[in-house]
Amino acid sequence: MKKKVRKAVIPAAGLGTRVLPATKAQPKEMLVIVDKPALQYLVEELIAAGIEEILIITGRNKGSIENHFDYSYELEKTLEENGKKDLLKIVDGISEMSNIYYVRQKKPLGLGHAISCAEAFVGDEPFVVLLGDDIIYTDKDKGQSPVTKQLIEKYEDLQGGTILGVQEVDKKNVSKYGIIKPLTQIDDKTVVVEDFIEKPTIEEAPSNLAALGRYVLEPEIFSYLKNTKPGKGGEIQLTDAILAMKNDGGKLYAYNFEGLRYDTGDKFGMFVANVEFGLRHEELKDRVREYLKDLIEIIKDRDLVILLVIGILLGIEKNNFEKVYLGWCAFSMPLLILYIVEDYFKKELIGFGDVKLMIVIGGLLKYRDFRQVLFFYQNLYFLSAAIVVLVLVYWRMREKRGEYVPFAPYIILNYLLFEKFFM
């Protein structure tokens, strides 16, 4: 009978060169996502999965990792004296999260070498490995378990073996990951792995299933790590040891886990993580949402101003600014009135963005007479948009989605038709 998975290893000795200069003086694992360092998200995932002991593999200049999960008597005393009980509870909770141990990787010889430093800690037990770059969000409301728990449950179902946590990635991005070659399908989420190719070209990639920073390993891996020769850059690769063990008859599986993965070792990935975790943060989510809405409006308004300036310049150049101005007013007025009426009755068929778009189009068309405006709207509502809009509105009402049909594409289409055939 296989032993229970109760230990975890987090390699955190890397230099984090992809996010320099932020990592010049601090570990990449301690870069903050909203209000917690990235590493804390990993530790919380492990605790939620029932892991009892955690080993963090560090290197030089990683002392802040140990400090973060240790007691801070000065800080705790200050918070207590100032009556900040909520913050004190948070700080105390961090230091009491789990049994956390540390070992230093003295030389940067690759992921495989870092894992080998955990041999004394692991002993003869299976264990999980979490890479510090990969933060994975799972939604409790959707019934998703922490990824570590998903992998452990799969390990128990399969009664042992090496489990790689994988997800599908875009085919054009396969060169960024270790890509598995499936052999046989066990269930809708699990496959037996035939091969594992590190950062293949699009042509070389046997699938688009990428290993994303979660492993369940058995203690036999350490003997293979000892016999694994350094590869590119003089580093010992975990992948090579896993494949060697598989070729000797070991069981190797890939499990397509549920969850949303963030690459926090990448600048854009870190940015996305901060935005999306901010939108989930109980204290901040409303403020973040409002800020993003305001930012979008600013961008829209900026684009509108640019278009209006272009329209003014065209009007001046052609000595017909009066017609441009009248075009703004005449063509936008019907939609503006409709928007005001809708706002009064708390209904939404068009947005103010449609009004702004019509201002720009009115400047481009230039006002000639009332019949021109009437003919434009006649075309807009009856020729280019009416049928499609009515069908979509009916469908959305039936589905009770509460969304309105984007009107801008029909405005633009009608403008192009009007400009080509009726001007």
pLDDT < 70 stretches in the chain: 1, 15-17, 19, 22-25, 68-73, 75-77, 79-82, 84-98, 295-325, 328, 335, 342-354, 356, 359-360, 363-364, 378-410, 413-414, 417-423
pLDDT in the model for residue 219: 92
Bridge partners, 253 (sequence order): 163, 192
pLDDT in the model for residue 149: 93
Architecture category of domain 7-280 in CATH: Alpha-Beta Complex (3.90)
3-class DSSP assignment, residue 179: strand
Calpha distance 273→310 (Å, rounded): 38
pLDDT digits (tens, 9 = 90+) for 253-282: 999 999 888 888 788 888 888 888 888 888
pLDDT digits (tens, 9 = 90+) for 384-423: 555 555 555 555 544 444 444 566 666 776 677 666 665 5
Buried b (16+ CB within 10 A) or exposed e, 161-186: bbbbbbbebeeeebeebbbbbbeeee
Q: Is the dihedral of CA 180, 184, 190, 194 positive or negative?
A: negative
Tallying the residues shown for the chain, one arrives at: 423
Each domain of the chain, given as residue ranges in start order, spans 7-280, 285-421
